[in-house]
Amino acid sequence: MTKISFIGAGSAVFTYEVMTDILMTPGLDEGTMALVDIDAERLELAHKITERVVEISGRNWTVEASVDRTQVMQDSDYVINTIEVAGLANVRHDFDIPMKYGVNQCIGDTIGPGGIFKALRTLPSWIDILDDTERLAPDALVMNYTNPMSLTCLTGIRASTLPIVGLCHSIQHTSQELAGYLGVPHRELKYRAAGINHLAWLVELTHNGEDMYPLLREKANDPAIYEQDPIRFETMLHLGAFPTESSGHSSEYTPYFRKRPDLVEKYTRPEYLGETGFYANNWPTWRKESDEWIQKMLSGEEEIEMKRGPEYASYIIEAIEQDKPAVIYGNVYNTGLITNLPYDGVVEVACLVNGDGIQPTFYGDLPTQLAALDQQHMAVHDLVATAVLEGDREAAFYALMLDPLTAAVCSPAEIRQMFDEMASVQAEYLPDWMQK
């Protein structure tokens, strides 16, 4: 029988969605779901909703839960990682301190000062999880959903012998949004994407064999369409391809849109379209509301929907367990898959999945201007992974020095001062080597 361990299951909404996906997958009729979280209260919420959806599904799945992963993850076939380390305690620091230095973040949890410090808090715990997995479930496939995606996957791949794939929904969602902008059915839109997580590129976009980019550039002239995604349309118009993450998040990955107040005012819009401090100002509330929503489903105030969503986890398990081929986009080690990106980093490419597991596919060269933007981030990823694996504080600082938005705003001395201030304020949650 299939056994799936969910580490960080206290994000109960995501647990509910992925477990529902699995229960709605044809052929996955029985098995064990092991839920793990260090927050006992949130774990209990996840446990209750998982048991409820298992009951509704009528399938023969057993649900276990523990605050100690070593008690329940033995012999897992799949380990799904969704941990959040000290997020509530630091989400304001991750935004407020960089903002004081002029580094304006919208989301700030995968790159930039916020993303780098989130990685420095998260990755030591991630390495411990992988150590336990190697010991207790050495044949498991590890599926990572935790951000910063690229940094988590790269550090895990360097620290472990386990097969690891990073899963995001940005490419699926972007393709759906583009189908809407173009006015064509999503199932008919063909695309080919490659790059790094949150800065991959829809390099090919066709409908019935016709290149859709001329029409997309035309659509960018329509304010009703342009205003839905200003930064990504600007990126496409000037760099030649549409990036795969929201306008707000994309704006943090390049030096173009957030380095001056006038540019922020010109290009950003409310919420995920680039609002200053959007994540820091709202995430604690979203977290609370998510828990309340689960409670309402358990009490019957909200309907429990049993439908399969777009997240890749259930499709991967189905493809492997039933040898039923599927294609997903995964974050994997670059073994020459994208030939003009560093071979020792993590890239996002199409992957075939079947009974033999996950098999990344060859892409080739990205257009030079797109590869150059990705290369700079991959240098940041390399430095952060090196910092964590070798306990090297200077490598972590160098990573912040190379962050495109930070470098566009601050001098080296200012970046050093910001780094030291963030390290000091977050000292309780960082490894000892991060202190001077």
What tens digit of pLDDT does each residue of 50-88 get? 999 999 999 999 999 999 999 999 999 999 999 999 999
**pLDDT beyond 90 at 12:** no
3 state DSSP class of 12: helix
Classify residue 31 as left (phi > 0), alpha (psi -120 to 50) or beta: left
DSSP structure class, residue 365: P
The CATH number corresponding to 2-92+109-166+301-311 among 3.40.50.2000, 3.40.228.10, 2.130.10.10, 3.40.50.720 equals 3.40.50.720
Q: What is the pLDDT of residue 436?
A: 81
Specify the DSSP element, H or E, that contains 404: helix 404-409
3 state DSSP class of 368: helix
Q: What is the pLDDT of residue 349?
A: 98
Report residue 154 as tokens: 């790269």
**pLDDT beyond 90 at 122:** yes
High-pLDDT (> 70) share of the chain, %? 100
Burial class (CB in 10 A: 0-12, 13-18, 19+), 96: middle
The CATH number of the domain covering residues in 93-108+167-276+312-430: 3.90.110.10
Q: How many CB atoms lie within 10 A of CB 300?
A: 8
Q: What is the pLDDT of residue 166?
A: 98
**What does the pLDDT average to over 10-39?**
96
**pLDDT beyond 90 at 89:** yes
Domain with CATH 3.90.110.10 in the chain: 93-108+167-276+312-430
Tell me the sheet residues that pair with 346: 333
Residues 6 or more apart whose Cβ sits within 8 Å of residue 8: 36, 37, 81, 82, 83, 84, 146
Burial class (CB in 10 A: 0-12, 13-18, 19+), 206: middle
3 state DSSP class of 200: strand
Each residue of 361-401: pLDDT tens digit?
999 999 999 999 999 999 999 999 999 999 999 999 999 99
Report residue 421 as tokens: 């201030």
Amino acid, res. 373: L
Q: What is the pLDDT of residue 29?
A: 97
Q: What is the pLDDT of residue 26?
A: 96
Q: Are 287 and 39 in contact (CB under 8 A)?
A: no
3 state DSSP class of 394: helix
What's 312-344 look like in SS3? CHHHHHHHHHCCCCEEEEEEEECCCCECCCCCC
3 state DSSP class of 284: helix
Q: How many CB atoms lie within 10 A of CB 289?
A: 12
Domain with CATH 3.40.50.720 in the chain: 2-92+109-166+301-311
Tell me the sheet residues that pair with 199: 196
Cα 246 from Cα 406, distance rounded (Å) = 19
Each residue of 284-332: pLDDT tens digit?
999 999 999 999 999 999 999 999 999 999 999 999 999 999 999 999 9
DSSP structure class, residue 27: T
Average pLDDT of the residues of the chain? 97
Each residue of 182-230: pLDDT tens digit?
999 999 999 999 999 999 999 999 999 999 999 999 999 999 999 999 9
3 state DSSP class of 246: coil
Q: Which residues are catalytic?
A: 169
Q: What is the pLDDT of residue 342?
A: 98
